[in-house]
Structure 1
Amino acid sequence: MDTPRLAGITTLLLDADGTLFPSEEPAFVASAVVTEEFARDFGLTGDFSPENLRRTTTGKNFRSTAQDLLAQHGTVLDAGQLQTWVDREKAEVTAYLGQVLKPEPDVVKALTLLSRNYRLAVVSSSALTRLAACITAGGLDELLPPAVRFSAEDSLPVPTSKPDPAVYQLALDRLGIESNQAIALEDSVSGTGSAVAAGIITAGIVQFVPADERADRKSRLREAGAAWVTDSWEHFARDVSPHTAATVTP
């Protein structure tokens, strides 16, 4: 694959969970506790273990997952009841991630280098409180302040989740840029679909994907529309550096 087209690119739109930090596995440990209780209360059946939730719902927020489970079982829940569960899951996962995540030196280094040439922003399905806890734990507050964080759960008039492109469209609007002025970076299929649907050139990254899943994830990210897939933040920073002519390989 050819070098990414950098002419006119001013902004990097970065997914959070699984992209900026290895939060997917610990998040699902905490989320599974709430999901299992949610399922019991409403008579829902299925495999709600942390590992199965990670494999089947990565890229979605709890609201979307809960709505999908309810729809599959023909169960109706009013908005207030659903919000109670969303708030509980958000609080428990946020607290847990704030305890277990630590700065990733290679991410901090890459973002510091990238910030010299691009504006950086976060575009996520996760709630803003969860993003804040993770970004602080990851040592990224100065590079990704609150003003450039966009949440499909909290920033939109009506909460949604990737692969809906609404959160990317909102980010473009708030940042005052067109889709051809940005590159998105995503680790999930649903996130890639969201960015691509918004008309944004999208790169996949698999640095925090379990090693035995990386080959399959790379293939699925390309199928979802990723222009290229990179193995690490170091490689991504090299790929989009305006001072190099690195070749992006499939």
Structure 2
Amino acid sequence: MTTLLCDADGTLFPSEEPAYAASAGVTNRFLAELGAERSYGPDELQAMTNGKNFRAAAQELARGYGRELAGDELDGWVAQEKDVVTEHLRTVLRPDPAVRDPLRAVAGRFTLAAVTSSASSRLDACLEVTDLAGLFDPQRRFSAEDSLEVPTSKPDPAVYAFAGERLGVTPDVAVAVEDSINGALSAVAAGFPTIGTVQFVAEGDREARTAALHEAGARVVVRSWAEVVDLLG
């Protein structure tokens, strides 16, 4: 094994809950334009779209109202949501030794790459404020929103396939680490053995998430990055 393909949100940092909190205002304005009769809370939105980026979530929500979004209209909403969420995450995320120190311990033995559904600018900001940027070379950061010719989102395996191609690694030498069901499905569909993690999942939800990650194809599910290091030996 030479390479760790690391999901970002919910895996490298606890960004999913604050991201949905910041995104809710934009998402509810978007839903109101579609004809929604009520607003949705961050927890509801996360349950509906966890592991998908806003582009994919917006398209899915629009289809529920008989709309197909594309082009400038969709890009405008995506840009709004990205800016709001990125600025919020810059203010709430902090370095976490429970992530940073285990990753530093393996950085000399393994190539570390980030593989995310989120926009590159959001990923860069989160890595910066959590003191992880130095572990993930900019050339080893892959975004389903920005790196691909056609933007997509997990569970589509395209971003993992692209990362493997660019890094020159195959599933026999690279392993993915994912916290979400859609993320695990993406990595598994691309052929990469996958470690599930529940480090940032609420204690009361861990049992269900662990079972769901196994069902999605994760080989093993851990509770911390320290356990990932132990698995790598």
Give the alignment's TM-score, normalised by structure 2. Answer: 0.98
From 236, 243, 246, the counterpart of 2:228: 236
Deviation at 1:147, TM superposition (A): 1.1
Deviation at 1:22, TM superposition (A): 0.4
Equivalent residue number for residue 181 of structure 1: 173
Unaligned runs of 5+ in 1: 1-8, 242-250
1:15 corresponds to 2:16: no
Q: 4+ runs of 1 displaced by more than 6 Å?
A: none
**Partners of 2:227 and 2:127 in 1: how far apart?**
21
* CA RMSD across the alignment: 1.0
**Partners of 2:86 and 2:125 in 1: how far apart?**
6
- What does 1:195-210 correspond to in 2, within 5 Å? 195-210=187-202
Work out the percentage of aligned pairs sharing the same amino acid. 49
From 209, 212, 216, the counterpart of 1:217: 209
Count of matched residue positions in the alignment of Structure 1 and Structure 2: 233
Deviation at 1:47, TM superposition (A): 5.7
From 67, 78, 87, the counterpart of 2:79: 87
Report the AA paired with residue 56 of structure 1. M
**Partners of 1:77 and 1:61 in 2: how far apart?**
15
Unaligned runs of 5+ in 2: none
Deviation at 1:91, TM superposition (A): 0.4
1:107 corresponds to 2:89: no
Retained in 2: the 8 A contact 1:153–1:160?
A: yes
SS at match of 2:28: helix
**Partners of 1:46 and 1:24 in 2: how far apart?**
23
Retained in 1: the 8 A contact 2:34–2:65?
A: no
**Partners of 2:87 and 2:151 in 1: how far apart?**
21
Retained in 2: the 8 A contact 1:192–1:225?
A: yes
1:28 corresponds to 2:20: yes
SS at match of 1:97: helix
Deviation at 1:77, TM superposition (A): 2.9
- What does 1:53-64 correspond to in 2, within 5 Å? 53-64=45-56
SS at match of 2:195: strand
Which structure carries more helix by proportion?
2
Equivalent residue number for residue 193 of structure 1: 185
Retained in 2: the 8 A contact 1:152–1:167?
A: yes
1:149 corresponds to 2:141: yes
**Partners of 1:57 and 1:16 in 2: how far apart?**
16
From 127, 131, 134, the counterpart of 2:126: 134
